[in-house]
Structure 1
Amino acid sequence: MTARNRRRKLPARYAAILSPLVLSLLMTFIVSFISTLRSLGFHPSLPSIWMTAWGLSWMVAFPTLLLVLPMVRRIVGALCEPASR
């Protein structure tokens, strides 16, 4: 692979922000779609209402994940054996 074709990656220090960012985007995308679909059914305005719901839910989910993820990691660490190396 040539230098021209390689994609640049973010430094590892961004993983603590990038992980909850991607998780919150994907989870809220799916959950807001299911929730909106259940309330409206297949309605002509479903896409615009869904995108509004998704944006609002993501604005809550991302900061929430940033706050609770360290606590979740501690709880999981207390419940699971450490990985063998």
Structure 2
Amino acid sequence: MNARHQRRKLPARYAAVLSPLVLSLLMTFIVSFISTLKSLGLHPDLPSIWLTAWGLSWLVAFPMLLLVLPVVRRIVGALCEPARR
């Protein structure tokens, strides 16, 4: 791909927010769908009910990930050997 058609990337400083954003979007998307499907079955209103549940769960999950991710990284760092370079 030539230089004119390369996609622009965000600066590395955004990774600390982008990682929990993507993680929370994907995880809440999947978990809320499974939970809603299990509760309702193949209900005709499943898509709208699920998307409402997903939006609400994401509103909680994203800020929580921003708060707990540094703690999780410290716990994992205490449990795992450092990577060799």
Q: Calculate percent identity across the aligned residue pairs.
A: 86
Aligned to 1:22: 22
Aligned to 1:37: 37
Aligned to 1:9: 9
Note the C-alpha offset of 1:5. Answer: 1.4
Q: Which runs of 5+ in 2 are unaligned?
A: none
Q: For residues 25-80 of structure 1, give each alpha carbon's deviation from its aligned partner in whole angstroms, at most 9, with x where no partner exists.
A: 00000000000000000010000000000000000000000000000000000000
How many residue pairs match? The answer is 85
CA RMSD of aligned residues (A): 0.6
- What one-letter code is carried by the residue in structure 2 that aligns with 1:48? S
- What one-letter code is carried by the residue in structure 1 that aligns with 2:18? L
TM norm structure 2: 0.98
1:78 aligns with 2:78: yes
Distance, in Å, in 2 between the alignment partners of 1:67 and 1:49 is 28
Distance, in Å, in 1 between the alignment partners of 2:5 and 2:62 is 32
Note the C-alpha offset of 1:3. Answer: 2.7
1:48 aligns with 2:51: no
- What one-letter code is carried by the residue in structure 2 that aligns with 1:14? Y
Q: Which runs of 5+ in 1 are unaligned?
A: none
